[in-house]
Amino acid sequence: MPWIDKDRCTGCQTCVDECPVDAIYMSDGTAIIDMTNCIRCGICHEVCPEDAVRHDSEKTTDRIEENIEETKRFMADCEQLLGNEKEGQKCLNRMIKHFENERIIAERTLEQLRILNSDLEGK
């Protein structure tokens, strides 16, 4: 999924003009993508003269760190609000189950998408 590197964006608005579904808007001189409307066509990435539209894969490390920090915050809140250390550990186990479930969803989605891709290549 695309995202815009604010440090590279010069606010030229080329991506805003070219997006086929008007999913990009300007805020404080920088382009912002509204991901609820984005259809992942990649045009903004192709037209940006500054290479400011970046790929998801560049945020993998940051997202892992965010997940870990978020889990630690939940654990601390559970401990504090529910009164003991065991509640923090229970919270941690729920987060582990949550991410295991996310992994299963991602793996099964990938399986189906690869089948779809093979079907298209066979046509």
The contact set with ligand SF4 (CB under 6 A) reads: 2, 4, 9-15, 19, 21, 23-24, 31, 33, 38-44, 48, 50, 52-53
Please report, as a single letter, which amino acid is at residue 76: A
Residue 18 or 87 having the CB closest to ligand SF4: 18
Residue 23 or 91 having the CB closest to ligand SF4: 23
Residue 24 or 91 having the CB closest to ligand SF4: 24
CB of 14 to ligand SF4, least distance (A): 4
